[in-house]
């Protein structure tokens, strides 16, 4: 029953505005309703970027903390989901960069013989799971906006209009970035997939 | 190389189901007829299929989370840690402001250097002494100030007597060279000493320096006469002044008063 009620709230902008007003007054129930409605979407967004369950859960918590703090800044005319996913995306990217920096520091602080060499990585690329990791590395290599559009379209399964709201770009730009992302992935992954151009 | 004029942008959109029904049908009909486009679309499809593998991984991660319990857990943590939204905003702003410094030791060092430099400059350039409207925290008793002024009066008197002595010695030297000789004495010096005497009078009276005042008064009379003389000093006039100084033992008295003043300073 709760799910049906939640779905009604989600599709009703006035209900959402009212929930956000109650959050500003410190209403726990209103806050929990919004978390229930969007927690999975926020998690998928965070996981798509971070590719680690615990880091993604931290990002989910940080996103809702940010929502609680900034509930008063939401403009009722705009898409709430787009606004929330934009926060989730920014938090996840920040977290990803922090983790990446730590990884780099860890690698540079390790003796040379302990750092995994590229040849070892490539030796195991023949299995299907490594094709998947090659694909992930390809996504990783994409320019940030291309990567975000690709992640939102294919992992979050958002429509282009939803992506345009979350990224504050036009639908046309979102489609164009998506095409460039797919083209680049094809170019980089053709050798790994055993395809000839 | 595929030279087909069909819009390639549409391939990805076609495969991810983002084309309108009419466009999708057109694309499907074209792919049936065009082997080049079909081959390229197949390649794209195989790439996108890999995204499905990642999607499966994401689904697994989603399935591993207890979504029923998570909202209460997040709400508890957020409401406990964040306090009121306004307060949290302030904390967020502060964090955002402090964050770059924490992450960049060079900037933090520069900022610390600026602060230390500013404090050092403040103390280095700070003007000593009282300022209008400000309590400087400096106190001096009336007795202390009186003593300081008395010392100043003695120093001024001593200086006046020394200069007068030189002038008088000049007069005597001129007299020794014979009448009509070069006038070493300048009435200008006498006028200068007369003006200083006016300033000195107040100090001599205030501190009741009677002995010093008496001798200074005699010198003043002498200088009044000398100041009125211009040009070469007539021999008769010079002899008269010299006689006056010798009669009163003026130079000796000046020396005595000077010694007395020096011992008191």
Residue-wise pLDDT tens digits, A116-148 = 443 334 444 445 566 667 787 888 889 989 988
Asked if A60 lies within 8 A of B85 by C-beta distance, the reply is: no
pLDDT at B186 exceeding the cut of 70? no
Look at B8 and A133; give whichever has higher pLDDT. A133
The pLDDT tens digits of the residues spanning B209-235 come to 888 888 888 888 877 777 766 556 667
Contact predicate B16/A151, CB 8 Å: no
Q: A24 vs B85: CB contact, 8 Å cut-off?
A: yes
| pLDDT value of position A179 | 86
CB pairs under 8 A between A and B: 126
CA distance B168 to B251: 8
pLDDT of residue A115: 44
Q: Which of B25, B51, B59 is nearest to A181 (CA)?
A: B51
- Which long-range contacts (C-beta less than 8 Å, at least 24 apart) are formed by B90-98? B92/A69
Residues of A in contact with B44 (CB under 8 A): 182, 186
- Looking up tokens 């399964």, which residue turns up? A157
Q: In which band, very low, low, confident or very high, does the pLDDT at B89 lie, cut at 50, 70 and 90?
A: very low
The percentage of chain B sitting over the pLDDT mark of 90, rounded to a whole number, equals 6
Say how far residue A92 (Cα) sits from the centre of its chain. Answer: 7
CA distance B112 to chain A (A): 25
* B72 in contact with A, Cβ within 8 Å: yes
Contact B162, B173 (CB under 8 A): no
A9 touches chain B (CB under 8 A): no
- Identify which of A132, A186, A193 has the shortest CB distance to residue B54: A132
Whether the CB of B103 is below 8 Å from some CB of chain A: the reply is: no
Q: How many CB atoms lie within 10 A of CB A13?
A: 14
What percent of chain A is predicted at pLDDT more than 90?
Answer: 24
B177 Cβ contact list (under 8 Å, min separation 6): none
Among all residues of chain B, which has the CA nearest to that of A24?
A: B85
Nearest to A43 among B9, B13, B62 (CB): B62
Residue B61 to residue A53, Cβ atoms within 8 A = yes
Query: What does the alpha-carbon distance between residue A72 and residue A58 come to, in Å, rounded to a whole number?
Result: 23
DSSP state, A134? H
Across the interface, which of B43, B65, B88 has its CB nearest the CB of A186?
B43
Max distance between CA atoms of chain A, in angstroms, equals 61
Q: Is A142 left (phi over 0), alpha (psi -120 to 50) or beta?
A: beta
Establish if B48 touches chain A: CB-CB under 8 angstroms: yes
Which CA distances in Å does A90 have to A40, A70, B59, B113? Answer: 17, 14, 22, 34
B111 touches chain A (CB under 8 A): no
Percentage of residues in chain B with pLDDT exceeding 70? 74
Residue-level pLDDT at B64: 93
**Contact assignment for A68 to B46 by CB distance below 8 Å:** no
* Cβ within 8 Å, pair B61-A71: no
**CA distances for A28 relative to A21, B119, B253, angstroms:** 12, 48, 102
Q: B66 — contact with chain A (CB < 8 Å)?
A: no
Q: Which of A57, A68, A190 sits opposite B65 (nearest CB)?
A: A57
CB A53 within 8 A of CB B61: yes
Counting other chains too, the contacts that B72-80 makes at CB distance below 8 Å and 24 or more residues apart are B72/A32, B74/A35, B74/A39, B74/A60, B74/A61, B74/A64, B74/A65, B75/A28, B75/A31, B75/A32, B75/A35, B77/A61, B77/A65, B78/A31, B78/A61, B78/A64, B78/A65, B78/A68, B79/A26, B79/A28, B79/A31, B79/A68
Instruction: Look at residue A194 in the predicted model and tell me its pLDDT.
Output: 57
């Amino acid at each position: 029953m709760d799910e049906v009620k939640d779905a009604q709230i989600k599709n009703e902008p006035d209900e959402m505005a009212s929930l956000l007003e109650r959050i500003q007054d410190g209403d726990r129930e209103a806050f929990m309703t919004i978390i229930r409605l969007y927690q999975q979407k926020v998690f998928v967004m965070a996981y798509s970027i971070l590719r680690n369950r615990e880091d993604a859960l931290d990002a989910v918590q940080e996103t809702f903390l940010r929502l609680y703090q900034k509930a008063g800044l939401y403009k009722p005319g705009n898409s709430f989901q787009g606004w929330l996913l934009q926060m989730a995306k920014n938090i996840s990217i920040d977290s990803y960069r922090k983790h990446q920096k730590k990884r780099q520091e860890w690698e540079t602080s390790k003796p040379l013989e302990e750092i995994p060499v590229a040849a070892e990585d490539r030796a195991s690329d023949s299995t299907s799971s490594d094709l998947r990791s090659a694909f992930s590395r390809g996504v990783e290599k994409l320019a940030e906006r291309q990567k975000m559009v690709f992640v939102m379209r294919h992992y979050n399964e958002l429509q282009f209009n939803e992506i345009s709201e979350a990224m504050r770009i036009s639908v046309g730009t979102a489609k164009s970035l998506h095409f460039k992302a797919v083209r680049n992935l094809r170019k980089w992954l053709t050798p790994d997939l055993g395809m000839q151009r | 190389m595929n030279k087909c004029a069909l819009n390639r942008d549409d391939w990805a959109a076609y495969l991810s189901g983002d084309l309108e029904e009419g466009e999708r049908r057109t694309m499907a009909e074209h792919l049936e007829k065009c082997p080049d486009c079909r081959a390229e679309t197949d390649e794209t499809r195989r790439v996108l299929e890999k995204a499905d593998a990642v999607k499966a991984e994401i689904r697994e991660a989603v399935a591993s989370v207890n979504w029923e319990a998570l909202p209460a857990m997040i709400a508890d943590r957020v409401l406990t840690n964040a306090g009121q939204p306004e307060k949290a905003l302030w904390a967020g702003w502060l964090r955002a402001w402090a964050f770059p410094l924490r992450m960049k030791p060079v900037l933090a060092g520069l900022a610390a250097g600026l602060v230390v430099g500013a404090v050092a400059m403040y103390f280095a350039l700070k003007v000593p002494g009282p300022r209008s409207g400000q309590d400087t925290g400096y106190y001096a008793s009336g007795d202390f100030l009186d003593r300081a002024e008395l010392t100043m009066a003695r120093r001024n008197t001593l200086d006046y007597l020394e200069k007068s002595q030189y002038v008088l010695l000049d007069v005597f030297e001129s007299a020794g060279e014979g009448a009509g000789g070069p006038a070493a004495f300048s009435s200008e010096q006498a006028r200068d000493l007369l003006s200083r005497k006016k300033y000195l009078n107040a100090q001599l009276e205030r501190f009741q320096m009677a002995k010093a005042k008496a001798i200074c008064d005699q010198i003043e009379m002498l200088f009044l006469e000398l100041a009125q003389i211009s040009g070469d000093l007539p021999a008769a006039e010079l002899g008269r002044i010299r006689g006056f100084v010798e009669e009163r033992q003026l130079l000796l008295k000046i020396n005595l008063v000077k010694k007395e003043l020096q011992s008191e300073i």
